[in-house]
Amino acid sequence: MQISEIFYSIQGEGPKTGEKAVFIRLAGCNLRCKFCDAKYAYKGGELALNELIAKIKMYDCNNIIWTGGEPALQIKEIYKIIRKLKGYSHDIETNGTFFFLPRLFETIVISPKKQAINNNLTRKYKELNNVYFKFVVGNLKDYIFWKKFTGDLKIKKQKVYFMPEAKTRKILIEKSKWLISQAKKDGFNFSGRLQILKGFN
């Protein structure tokens, strides 16, 4: 598999914030978002499946988060690992441009991007109990856009997390205050970014 990095940490975003996990950041992405904070993951190094499994087992943690880049680009390899690793739970963070076997994952967090919206796929995903949507919001225009999107596609509000676009602690705190008040007013969830707030990885 093409891997960018593997590390053990605490989930800093979305519905499972605070949970410990082994993060496997797969290399490569089919999109090029301006605000991308994982550009370093566009390229990575090759790791054989048995080497990856050995690395995963080094950690005292049976919760895996597949992230990227866009992990669904290597979904067939992910399936192989899931089948080989007994007793592990798997979450995946995706941009929602590919459909894959949802039942293999405990949680699927989709972060749609404006330049690659796929309404048909979104309609399929929104019906699944283990799917959540996380929208990156840089400003009020973004917020209004994604709020309308969730309304038009009738996505349940409890599945929706709005998360500030921020690369520094200062910007994150400023935008969080504003975004929390917007989300609360409209009945959506808010997602922070613990990894920026705390500076951990």
Minimal distance in Å, beta carbon 36 to ligand SF4? 3
Minimal distance in Å, beta carbon 166 to ligand SF4? 13
Q: How far apart are CA 77 and CA 104, in angstroms?
A: 13
Binding residue for ligand SF4 (CB under 6 A) from 38, 53, 82, 171? 38
Minimal distance in Å, beta carbon 185 to ligand SF4? 27
Q: Which is nearer to ligand SF4, 4 or 63 (CB)?
A: 4
Query: For every residue of 64-130, which 3-state class applies, written as one string?
Result: EEEECCCHHHHHHHHHHHHHHCCCCEEEEEECCCCCCCHHHCCEEEECCCHHHCCHHHHHHHHCCCC
Binding residue for ligand SF4 (CB under 6 A) from 74, 95, 150, 191? 95
161 and 190 in contact (C-beta within 8 Å)? yes
Q: Which is nearer to ligand SF4, 38 or 53 (CB)?
A: 38
Minimal distance in Å, beta carbon 86 to ligand SF4? 30
Angle of helix 75-84 versus helix 49-57 axis, rounded to 10: 50
Stretch that binds ligand SF4, among 18-26, 27-35, 71-79, 158-166 (CB under 6 A): 27-35
Q: What's the token pair of residue 145?
A: 């856009």
Q: Which is nearer to ligand SF4, 59 or 98 (CB)?
A: 98
Minimal distance in Å, beta carbon 32 to ligand SF4? 5
Q: How far is CA 186 from CA 72, 75, 150, in A?
A: 31, 35, 12
Contact between 68 and ligand SF4 per CB under 6 A: yes
150 and 131 in contact (C-beta within 8 Å)? no
Binding residue for ligand SF4 (CB under 6 A) from 20, 32, 177, 184? 32
Nearest to 96 by CA among 72, 65, 128, 127: 72
Contact between 36 and ligand SF4 per CB under 6 A: yes
Q: Look up residue 41 and give its amino acid.
A: A
Binding residue for ligand SF4 (CB under 6 A) from 59, 61, 113, 130? 113
95 and 116 in contact (C-beta within 8 Å)? yes
Contact between 167 and ligand SF4 per CB under 6 A: no
Q: Which residues bind ligand SF4 (CB under 6 A)?
A: 29, 31-33, 36, 38, 68-70, 95, 113
